[in-house]
Homo-oligomer: A and B are copies of this chain.
Amino acid sequence: MSKTKEFAKHLKELNIENMFENDFFLTWDKTDDEIEAVFTVAQALRDLRERNISTRIFDSGLAVSNFRDNSTRTRFSFASACNMLGLEVQDLDESKSQIAHGETVRETANMISFMADVIGIRDDMYIGKGHAYQKTVSDAVKEGYEDGVLEQKPTLVNLQCDIDHPTQCMSDILHVINEFGSVENLKGKKVAMTWAYSPSYGKPLSVPQGVVGLFTRFGMDVVLAHPKGYDIMPDVEEVAKKNAEKTGGSFTKTNDMKEAFKDADIVYPKSWASFSAMQERTELYAKGDMDGIDVLEKKLLKENAQHKDWECTEDMMSLTKGGKALYLHCLPADISKVSCKEGEVSDTVFDRYRKPLYKQASYKPYIIAAMIFLAKVKDPAKALEKLEEEANRRKKN
């Protein structure tokens, strides 16, 4: 029996009715079965692709992307995911559109969705805004569909918001599962999600939040470490705590990077801005107070510069379990002496983990494709079996 057939068989055991015609905003909106279904379909699609079997479930159709922040890997991952399912990406480039001319989000959402099967949105810059924007778009197209304006309800895929970065964090954990051999093997493993120094300022909180909100579901001991003042959203900490209680793992916090790294099986050192600073920034932007933003930026950069010792060095790595913890990063990393003078990680550590880091990233197209697949196909197990049986070649000759 092919891997894909096995994955399809497993899928039948999961309770995933609610995924059909539904969106993907936050991993903690989803049940354990639903999360597992995404991994299962992602791996089945990868297996089919590796055997040159077409995974197209669309003969035509559009996937709209809306990147409100720069992106390389997520942009290409989304394009890859859509292409392998048979959808063509059409980018909503707000600078070329008439949105500035007083068009509302609700209106634009409908106007771009006449043939859209999927909408992928990255909106991670302002606390309190990104997730809200995605919800508004989702509500608008749902209404448009019910009103007969749209022929289909496009599925929304969160390509990073202010709260979560589900396509990233699910790729991260799928990579971890494959590195450790199974979901079962994750139980009791120690994960250090730690802040790290970067000369830049204002990086989104969605990755650390997404990681603690997701990794705590696997019975792991998740430690969140950051300098004082670099807290993440309290609501997400609550999610992490509840997850840990339920799965027999733990969620703890510290302001000591070494404590987090000590005996860790997995480390994820990464820069982010503090929640309170990001809230302040959002308010200043709302008021149009550009001078205030300048002052804030200077203050934050000064604060930031006091924590250059939060770097993932060889010495730090030697504190981890057997000195061999799995190093994770969502990329691009700020590598000391390579991309900046002093950064998140030393050049030798980064270089040693280059191969697993690239593998970590390589799951993202499949995670995105799986999210779309599960939202668009009524019977995903049967659909996978059919792809396997028809075995249309992707490269035909």
A contact set with B: CB distance below 8 Å: 46, 49-50, 54-62, 64, 67, 70-73, 75-77, 79-80, 83-84, 86, 88-90, 92, 96-99, 101-104, 107-108, 110-112, 114-115, 117, 144, 147-151, 200, 331-335, 338-340, 343, 355, 358-359, 361-362, 364-365, 376-379, 382-383, 386-387, 392-397
Contacts and interface: CB of A to CB of B under 8 A. Distances in A.
A60 B70 contact: no
A273 to B, nearest CB: 15
Q: How many copies does the complex hold?
A: 3
Contact of A83 (B92, B115, B333): B115
A97 B75 contact: yes
Contacts of A86: 60, 396
A213 B227 CA distance: 60
10 contacts: A54-B60, A56-B59, A57-B395, A59-B393, A72-B111, A73-B111, A76-B92, A76-B111, A80-B115, A101-B339
A88 B160 CA distance: 24
For the complex of A and B, 6 pairs with smallest distance between CB atoms: A102-B339, A383-B397, A80-B115, A103-B332, A72-B97, A149-B358
A277 B115 CA distance: 38
B101 A355 contact: no
A390 to B, nearest CB: 9
Contact of A96 (B71, B115, B149): B71
A340 B102 contact: yes
A96 B67 contact: yes
A76 B397 contact: no
Contacts of A338: 102, 104
B59 A394 contact: yes
A107 B112 CA distance: 32
A179 to B, nearest CB: 13
Contacts of A50: 151
Contacts of A54: 59-60
Nearest to A97: B72
Contact of A149 (B56, B144, B362): B362
Given A49-B151, A54-B59, A395-B61, A90 B90 contact: no
